[in-house]
Structure 1
Amino acid sequence: MESGSIDSSVSSLIMMDEDVNLHHFSSITTKLHSNGPTASSVYQLLECPVCTNSMYPPIHQCHNGHTLCSTCKTRVHNRCPTCRQELGDIRCLALEKIAESLELPCRYSSLGCPDVFPYYSKLKHESICNFRPYNCPYAGSDCSVVGDIPYLVTHLRDDHRVDMHSGCTFNHRYVKSNPMEVENATWMLTVFHCFGQYFCLHFEAFQLGTAPVYMAFLRFMGDEREARTYGYSLEVGGNGRKLTYEGSPRSIRDSHKKVRDSHDGLVVYRNMALFFSGTDRKELKLRVTGRIWKEQQNPEAGVCIPNLCS
């Protein structure tokens, strides 16, 4: 947006609504003229001074014209963080109307997103932007670390001490000496590296209704669309019997709790697990094996066929 068009649009806003706060409108135009006026100076005006995110209606202001977003109004207990005056319920209509005329780059532009959006579409896009950072996928903690995949792999290895494994097959053994105890536990057993990607194997023990169960599932360290291009299988068994599961790994965009609660994995009831153990129910010995493959499109048949990891 050209600075001249910003200047003219700002000047016209005062004609649009008689309820606009004149004191604050004057401060807006003063800042714009002293800064350029440029698009970046307008964007700075729309930045909440508390959380530094872009402000969306309702935009609040105090009697002295200081603004902040509606979320932070509650956080500061209705006191202006700049002058400490009570905020009340004053809306800054001038900034709200300026916002309607703007287009903004995605907040993840520095991470590679090239898109620009009308001000009121930007927030929706950012919630699903493929370039947004990933949350740490470690299960069983409230880790707040975010970053790209290489950073998170290093973080999982160094900070959470997760085992790293190269290859597309796995064989894990879970042993419990007092299997009749009710247990709620979460583990990230291993991070696998195959096909140039990373996968997290999870194991959960929890109550499903009144029944204790164990569950294993795989998550893909990447976005949902790419996760669907892979498949995996899980198997648990003993005493001549076995349970198997096949599916697509879920993206780490979905939390491990969300995947667990959807039961999207291999679920084994404790009674069945004890039968597989073959130890007269005195000890649980559960072995989970599996493999990962990449689905490839067969152009002649029009179907996906598995490409097994060598």
Structure 2
Amino acid sequence: MELDSIECVSSTDGMDEDEIHHHNLHHPHPHHGHHQFSSSKPHNNTNNANIISNIVGATAIAPATSVHELLECPVCTNSMHPPIHQCHNGHTLCSTCKTRVHNRCPTCRQELGDIRCLALEKVAESLDLPCKYYNLGCPEIFPYYSKLKHEAICNYRPYNCPYAGSECSVVGDIPFLVAHLRDDHKVDMHTGCTFNHRYVKSNPREVENATWMLTVFHCFGQYFCLHFEAFQLGMGPVYMAFLRFMGDETEARNYSYSLEVGANGRKLIWEGTPRSIRDSHRKVRDSHDGLIIQRNMALFFSGGDRKELKLRVTGRIWKEQQNPDAGVCIPNLCS
């Protein structure tokens, strides 16, 4: 289905409005690669006797990561925890992947049966291992089972791509994702803490459940994603704008933002805290945590014969600075 294009005009920090290229509602950008963090290590599984020999003979001198590699499933590369299964030749894999490979060893193709690798399970229970994100900066070391729980919420774990126009599976740290958004998704990048966008769409009574636009702003040394989209709510479409912070939730709370839309004697204002990109785009949208414009009000703002949607959304981002004397937060505006 051919969709209408959206015109967006943006100006930052007092700059004149510059024309920005048209955006289609859908932005298909294929991604054939994965980020460098998502890598698979080769596995040289041995039989059970050799595994125990390696562990017992090398524990005193080998780094914990060597033992950790023995506990990686050769199929999903996640850490194995009981029950750990093995084939008749001693090749191991996790219980989840055992069903995925249809009870055939992925290494030697022999039937797996129901053999447990009890020795490796006991080794797993006795180990203190570094977080798997240690190479990204996490310094923590945990008992084996605590480690698994920590890794699910580790602040150093990679972020998912915040682009909402397609199902993008790319993950990485913030600098990597900023470059990915710019180069692969062709997202508009701006420097400054204020913005002024104009969105134009013909036939506003038709709406696709898709993102209209994503813009990335760089200010206070951080990156923010401004989303503007249309989606069906009840019997009619609504238009929504919201900001996400490219970082963790604790950092996001240090910032605030405002959005304003209006024309023809009417105005809507939204003020709030940006959500972290740890929260998915859909989660933020479905929680309605942002500026929401009902269709009738959007048409009031547009004026004219109501056959074209014309919305001007302005906004700014500021940092909340703690005042040690007063004990309250005061806004630190971007110069």
Per-residue deviation, residues 233-283 of structure 1 (Å, max 9, x unmatched): 001111111111111111111111111011111011111101111123211
Question: Corresponding residue for 1:227?
Answer: 252
Inter-partner Cα distance in structure 1 for 2:213 and 2:164: 6
Are 1:57 and 2:57 matched, yes or no? no
Q: 1:168 to 1:225 in 2, by over 3 A?
A: same
Inter-partner Cα distance in structure 2 for 1:274 and 1:295: 35
Structure 2: gaps spanning 5 or more residues: 1-45
1:95 to 92, 113, 120: 120
SS at match of 1:286: strand
Asked if 1 retains the 8 angstrom alpha-carbon contact of 2:205 and 2:237, the reply is no
1:29 to 23, 37, 52: 52
Question: Corresponding residue for 1:260?
Answer: 285
Q: Structure 1: which amino acid aligns with 2:285?
A: R
Question: Corresponding residue for 1:201?
Answer: 226
SS at match of 1:273: helix
1:277 to 302, 318, 321: 302
**Percent same amino acid at aligned positions?**
83
Q: Give the drift of 1:30.
A: 2.9
Inter-partner Cα distance in structure 1 for 2:83 and 2:59: 27
Inter-partner Cα distance in structure 1 for 2:261 and 2:291: 9
Q: 1:167 to 1:40 in 2, by over 3 A?
A: closer
Inter-partner Cα distance in structure 2 for 1:94 and 1:274: 69
Aligned length: 288
Inter-partner Cα distance in structure 1 for 2:141 and 2:190: 40
Structure 1: gaps spanning 5 or more residues: 1-22
Inter-partner Cα distance in structure 1 for 2:138 and 2:230: 39
Inter-partner Cα distance in structure 2 for 1:272 and 1:89: 64
State the TM-score, normalized to the length of structure 1: 0.87
Q: Give the drift of 1:36.
A: 6.5
Inter-partner Cα distance in structure 2 for 1:211 and 1:265: 18
Q: Which one has a bigger Cα radius of gyration? A: 1
Q: Structure 2: which amino acid aligns with 1:141?
A: S
Moved over 6 A (4+): none
Q: Structure 1: which amino acid aligns with 2:288?
A: H
The farther-off stretch of 41-50 and 52-61 is 41-50
Question: Corresponding residue for 1:153?
Answer: 178
Asked if 2 retains the 8 angstrom alpha-carbon contact of 1:139 and 1:187, the reply is no
Are 1:171 and 2:192 matched, yes or no? no
Q: 1:89 to 1:187 in 2, by over 3 A?
A: farther
Per-residue deviation, residues 191-212 of structure 1 (Å, max 9, x unmatched): 1111111111001211122231
SS at match of 1:296: strand
Return the structure number with greater helix share.
Answer: 1
Question: Corresponding residue for 2:145?
Answer: 120
User: How well do the aligned residues superpose, as a CA RMSD in angstroms?
Assistant: 1.9
